Structure 1
Amino acid sequence: MTAVAAPIERDAALKVRGLATGYRGRPIIAGVDLPEFRPGEVHSLLGPNAAGKSTLMRALAGLQPATGSVRLGAQELIGLSLAEHAKRVTYMPQTLPQGVALSVLESVLGALRASSTGDPARDTHAASEQRAVAILERVGILHLALEGLDRLSGGQRQLVALAQSLVREPRVLLLDEPISALDLHHQLRVMRLVHELARERGMIAIMVLHDLQIAARWSDGIVMLAQGAIVATGTPVQAITAETLARVYGVQARVEHCSRGSLQIMVDDVLHAESAAA
């Protein structure tokens, strides 16, 4: 039965309890509890390949059948229609669909129309175009506005997907490997932008990342996953330790602080399977 949608709260925390999901009867995420995600915060999901990170993100986005509870303020999201769910949560997959015959600007306007608020003044074509241009400029790709999506590089397409997600101004933004196709300069620009907008909008941002150093620098909280289970949560200092890196990634590593106070993660060697399991 479809749940009833409550009014959207602007300062609601996201609480996940007993979440379970999988594919074709095979469990991937089995009854996990996540730390409370609060407005204005950026959190990163870390873990090796096949840890369940993307599956967990799709369940939070309402794109993957799940049981348990995903509550945004007073609203239970599990059971909402996809349209109502999308008003609160925006999901950015790893790649944009191929073969889309739209310009960059048209694709961002399309994403904006899909999240129409019903406010006539806000949803006029002129107002929508102004918002689309503003987000393209902030992402740093306004010069690509009239380019076709099919003519862009992988990194440029990833930035367009980010613009499509941000223009919708969601309460919860889910980003699945948002910097995987970007060079170092654009990786840092994207991380800074997401961090700034989370603070400005009171938005909850949750990202899947593979770069531990970037996650440690830009995240308020870390969730470390392995084989569909939560291994560690907390601040970067609490969650990214030599012990958790050995357990999750099977590596011998040192976690230290640089002169500016940032975490520095140095991997020295690969552990044997029995050492990692211990």
Structure 2
Amino acid sequence: MEAGVLRVRDLSTGYRNRDVVRGLSLPDLAAGQTLSLLGPNAAGKSTLLRALAGLQPARGSIELGGTELIGLPLAEHARRVTYMPQTLPQRVALTVLEAVIGALRATPPEGIEHGTDAITRRAVEVLERIGIAHLAMEGLDHLSGGQRQLASLAQALVRRPRVLLLDEPTSALDLNYQLRVMQLVREAAREWGMTVIMVLHDLALAARWSDRIVLLSHGTVAAAGNPVEALTPDVLARVYNVRARVETCSRGTLQILVDDVFTAPDKEDT
């Protein structure tokens, strides 16, 4: 396998002896590429992300650059793969800077100096890049929901992992920060050679910022490809049960316009 390629094959995972994701395979992803996972609620998106992060048992294969990740100790898995959940834990008595430094110390990536000054510089650089350096000394428990989400992103990015997993990274952000986060994630992926997989609900954001898109339905892949291939009216009808148009704006960006929903007698929900 080419160095850095992420390959997911025949993956199954779930809870309490019930598979939520069943026999799922993803398109191979090279370093620097971004993939968005889309689909309705309960399609298995977050469950899949947690399995890729090594946070719950899974069957099948997750290979990164020829190394099988399933079965690795969690610490070794975490050196290669970083997971950003939807929300940070509540009532964490740390400042933003302390939290970012702590994330870097917990599983330090290869090549980083272990001295306090070097780690602090790297943490501050990430906060500046995200645009929240002014919050460095604020307590996490004093932040708004959007600010906490940006702090969580800083914790993920500071380690510059080989694979970055983001669960709804823009859900609590206003339009300005949504755009900034998506730009930052795309730039970081290409600059640092990271593979990024993110769960999104906003189809337009996914279409604009993703190299590949996978739509899930009931724990299986309903469609996969580049945005033009994956986001078609037929796919949206099957996956979301809606009547939609997919058009290209004057700048070449896909626009998804939902006109109606299918009623139960007309079309069964798939």
TM-score (norm 2): 0.97
Quick one: distance in 1 between partners of 2:131 and 2:259? 37
What's the counterpart of residue 41 of structure 2? 49
Alignment of 1:270 onto 2:267: no
1:11-50 to structure 2, matched below 5 A, reads: 11-50=3-42
Q: 1:142 and 1:185 mapped to 2: Cα distance?
A: 17
Select 2:122's aligned residue among 131, 151, 168.
131
Query: C-alpha offsets along residues 50-109 of structure 1, whole Å, 9 cap, x if unaligned?
Result: 000000000000001000000001100000000000000000000000011000000000
SS class of match (2:176): helix
Mapping of residues 108-119 of structure 1, within 5 Å = 108-117=100-109
- Residue identity matched to 1:53: K
Q: 1:49 to 1:117 in 2, by over 3 A?
A: closer
Cα distance, 1:11 vs. partner? Answer: 4.1
| 1:248 aligned partner | 239
Alpha-carbon spacing, 1:83–1:266, altered in 2? closer, same or farther (3 Å):
same
Aligned-residue offset at 1:118? 6.6
The answer to whether the Cα contact below 8 Å between 2:109 and 2:160 also exists between their aligned partners in 1 is: no
Give me the whole-angstrom Cα distance separating, in 1, the residues matched to 2:114 and 2:38.
37
Unaligned runs of 5+ in 1: 1-8
Distance 1:118 1:37 in 2: 22
Runs of 4+ aligned structure 1 residues displaced above 3 Å come to: none
- Tell me if the contact between 2:20 and 2:218 (Cα under 8 Å) persists in the aligned partners: yes
Matched, 1:223 2:200: no
> In 1, distance between residues paired with 2:166 and 2:63?
19
Of 96, 99, 121 in structure 2, the residue corresponding to residue 107 of structure 1 is 99
Report the CA distance between 1:115 and its aligned residue: 2.1
Contact 2:5 2:30 in 1 (8 A): yes
CA contact (8 A) 2:240 2:269 kept: no
In the alignment, which residue of structure 1 is the partner of 2:224?
Answer: 233
Contact 2:109 2:159 in 1 (8 A): no
Q: Which runs of 5+ in 2 are unaligned?
A: none
Q: Go from structure 1 to structure 2 and tell me whether the alpha carbon gap of 1:118 and 1:14 turns closer, same or farther (over 3 Å shift).
A: closer
Identity of matched residues, %: 65
Q: Could you tell me how far apart the structure 2 residues matched to 1:80 and 1:226 are? A: 29
Q: Is the 8 A contact 2:109 2:161 kept in 1?
A: no
d(CA) in 2 for partners of 1:116, 1:141: 22
In the aligned structure 2, how far is the partner of 1:253 from the partner of 1:244? 10
* Distance apart, 1:27 and its partner CA: 1.0
Q: Deviations over 1:181-224 (max 9, x none)?
A: 00011000000000000000110000000000000000000000
The count of aligned residue pairs is 269
Taking the TM superposition and a 5 Å limit, the aligned residue runs for 1:68-83 are 68-83=60-75
Rounded to whole Å, the distance in 1 between the matches of 2:170 and 2:39 is 16
Quote the RMSD (CA, aligned, Å).
1.5
1:92 aligns to 2:84 (yes or no): yes
Name the SS for the 1:275 alignment partner. Answer: coil
Q: Which amino acid aligns with 2:40?
A: P
- Distance in 2, Cα, partners of 1:69 & 1:50: 23
